[in-house]
Chain A
Amino acid sequence: MDRTLRRKITNSIFVVLCAAATLVALAFLVMILWSLVAKGFGGIDANIFTMTQPAPGSPGGLLNGILGSILMCALGMLLAIVVGILAGTWLAEYGGKTAYGQVVRFLNDVLLSAPSILVGLFVYEILVKPFHGFSGYAGGVALGLLAVPIVTRTTEDMLTLQPNTLREAGMALGAGRGFVIRSIIWKAAGAGLFTGGLLGFARISGETAPLLFTSLGNQFVNLKMSQPMGSLPTTIFQFALSAYDDWQRLAWVGALLIAIAVLAVNIVGRLVARETHRP
């Protein structure tokens, strides 16, 4: 077989395999989303957003979980984005090649694979036990600790791939290094940084175990972060494994809400990014 034909065939096989991989991924997505929507969509009504979680047999909704999740995820993402982007920037721009930098990078990956329950235990030891009380703050910190390695990792990877010409151009104009990073490199890597934040949010939006030890949960609406707070994942966890149909249905609704939230953040974020980036 002559070489050109062989290369063409290899190429065709490759394209087909890539398309097949995408189809497989989409197929799983459809199957899982189908279960989620089939079980959860029918339960969405006004009560979900206006009433707190019920006892079995009573009417109710998921308001306490929704508000609690919003507050704690917001705190967690705030911590993760601030610390993660700065740390990733340090690794990419300043100290990444030093021995200390290697250690930080490696340990970041280790933290990334920490089971969430252990991070929750750690935050319990430092923020719950000494203060004799569960709190939304502790929950937010635990979530932040889980998201930060993802943001750090992605930030470092994205920044490193920005071509040096950008940096050189900025510095040649007389700008300091930090200024160059903030005004040029960060903006150039914007889409990638957003993906890092999104993946971090996706991870923590569904986490249950760490919240059980830090924010505990609360079947009433509570906006005081110094008190135990409810969250969607903990409610889902409790309701999904119960014996009661109405609780199980609420669990699926909650899971669907989380998936929709991640999708919404994804789409809205990209739209906003497109608006602020004039081509």
Chain B
Amino acid sequence: MFKTFVAAAGVAGLLASASYAADISGAGATFPAPVYAKWAETYKATTGTGLNYQAIGSGGGIKQIKAKTVDFGASDKPLKPEDLDASGLYQFPTVVGGVVPVVNIPGINAGQIKLTGPMLAAIFYGQVKTWDDPVIAKANPGVKLPSMPITVVHRSDGSGTSFLFTSYLSMKSPAWSSKVGASDSVNWPTGLGGKGNDGVSAFVKQTPGSIGYVEYAYAKQNKMAYVLVQNKNGKYPAPTAEDFAAAAAGAKWAQAPGNYLLLLDQPGANAWPITGATFILVYKNQENAASGQQVLKFFDWAYKNGDGAAAQLDYVPLPLPVKNLIRKQWTTNVTAGGKPVYTGK
């Protein structure tokens, strides 16, 4: 018995000397994890460099880059310029996605219900309690709304999706802004908490009369009944990749200090109002120039070659002008010993 143990330990020790360690490591946001995984897979096949990305949550990503245990961090929630300066970090966006309210109302299909921002806030606040409330009916003439109580479903875990959604509600409702606020985890006035987008989808599907909010990929994959939300132009766009891209196209990145920009309520006839980018965090002053170069090289490659993979997975790539702006930012913002670590060569 003991001998088998020793033998096993010996084999393990032998194996431990062989490895295929990744060359770059990153951790953080769960939202872009599938597309980063796809990019990393193709990148390794074409260049041989491995990128190990683990989705431990945006907060985890920020903590780990601050602790210098990873080469880059990833966050769905951009850090404010003050925080960036305090930690010596620089952030840049990679892809864009949308948050979609979904409902489960008997007799109602996808895209049949229209809601405005203030209405959404009132519903999630618990002020509007039934589906046949005159407030909702006014925006939906001709739609048969049952007199069912509304069950709100939100996220129980902290998430960038919640951050985007509550930021939008804060923008559209002063009551929400002062009483609840915007964060990846808030004190929801009413409703159930589901774990992950999956949990919210499950609760909405199982509870007639419920409303929740999920990332676009989940709404699409689970074929959920989404809600049309009024945008800045007064129109009701559908939550699709084109409409998320429309929101990103109109955004003014160049004027956003520290790249702190939420793509909420952006102008454009087709712009989806609840859109957001996901960000990468790296140190301005790189201790290891080579690893800094590897990180930026990977994302430059992704900007050039990753759009198809992103679209396939229901993400929206950044518009080309934004990518070029970011590339220019790299030369001045990510340096080692005063020199940029990556200049696109």
Binding site for B on A (CB under 8 A): 54-58, 71, 74, 78, 128-129, 132-134, 212-213, 216-225, 227-228, 234, 238, 240-245, 247, 272, 276
Contact = CB atoms under 8 A, between A and B. Distances in A.
A224 B198 contact: no
Interface string B50-78: 10111110001000000111000000000
Given A133-B69, A240-B198, A78 B9 contact: yes
A180 to B, nearest CB: 19
Interface string B6-21: 0011001001111111
Given A222-B20, A227-B21, A243-B222, A128 B69 contact: yes
B221 interface: yes
A223 B313 contact: no
Interface residues of B, number: 49
Given A55-B34, A219-B40, A272-B1, 19 more contacts: A54-B37, A57-B38, A58-B41, A132-B69, A134-B25, A134-B69, A216-B25, A216-B27, A216-B54, A216-B56, A218-B22, A219-B54, A222-B19, A224-B18, A228-B54, A241-B197, A241-B199, A244-B313, A245-B221
Contact of A244 (B27, B34, B54): B34
A128 B195 CA distance: 28
Residue of B38, B54, B312 with highest tally of chain A CB at under 10 A: B54
B22 A243 contact: no
30 contacts: A55-B37, A55-B39, A55-B40, A55-B309, A71-B15, A74-B8, A74-B12, A78-B5, A128-B69, A129-B67, A132-B69, A212-B54, A216-B25, A216-B56, A218-B22, A218-B54, A219-B40, A220-B22, A220-B52, A222-B20, A223-B16, A223-B17, A227-B19, A227-B21, A227-B22, A238-B33, A241-B198, A242-B33, A242-B34, A276-B1
Return the 9 tightest CB-CB contacts between A and B, nearest first: A55-B38, A224-B19, A55-B37, A217-B54, A243-B217, A241-B196, A243-B221, A243-B218, A55-B41
Interface of B: 1, 5, 8-9, 12, 15-22, 25, 27, 30, 33-34, 37-41, 44, 50, 52-56, 60, 67-69, 195-199, 215, 217-218, 220-222, 309, 312-314
Nearest to B50: A220
Nearest to B218: A243
A222 B56 contact: no
A219 B54 CA distance: 8
A134 B217 CA distance: 30
Nearest to A227: B21
A219 B27 contact: no
Contacts of B54: 212, 216-219, 228, 234
Contacts of B12: 71, 74
Given A74-B12, A132-B69, A228-B54, A56 B37 contact: yes
Given A238-B33, A243-B222, A244-B221, A225 B38 contact: no
Contacts of B38: 55-58
Contacts of B21: 220, 222, 224, 227
A176 to B, nearest CB: 20
Contacts of B313: 56-57, 244
A173 B198 CA distance: 65
A28 B50 CA distance: 43
Given A58-B41, A132-B68, A276-B1, A219 B52 contact: yes
A89 B5 CA distance: 20
A227 B23 CA distance: 11
Residue of A128, A212, A223, A243 with highest tally of chain B CB at under 10 A: A243
Nearest to B196: A241
A192 to B, nearest CB: 16
B148 to A, nearest CB: 27
Residue of B8, B15, B20 with highest tally of chain A CB at under 10 A: B20
Contacts of A216: 25, 27, 52, 54, 56
A134 B54 CA distance: 11
Contacts of A244: 34, 217, 221, 313
Contacts of A212: 54, 56, 60
Residue of B5, B15, B21 with highest tally of chain A CB at under 10 A: B21
Residue of A129, A133, A134, A247 with highest tally of chain B CB at under 10 A: A134
A228 B25 contact: yes
B56 A218 contact: no
A48 B267 CA distance: 47
Contacts of A227: 19, 21-22
A57 B217 CA distance: 14
Contacts of A78: 5, 9
A132 B19 contact: no
Contacts of A228: 22, 25, 52, 54
B20 A132 contact: no
A223 B22 CA distance: 11
B88 to A, nearest CB: 16
A245 B37 CA distance: 16
A244 B313 CA distance: 9
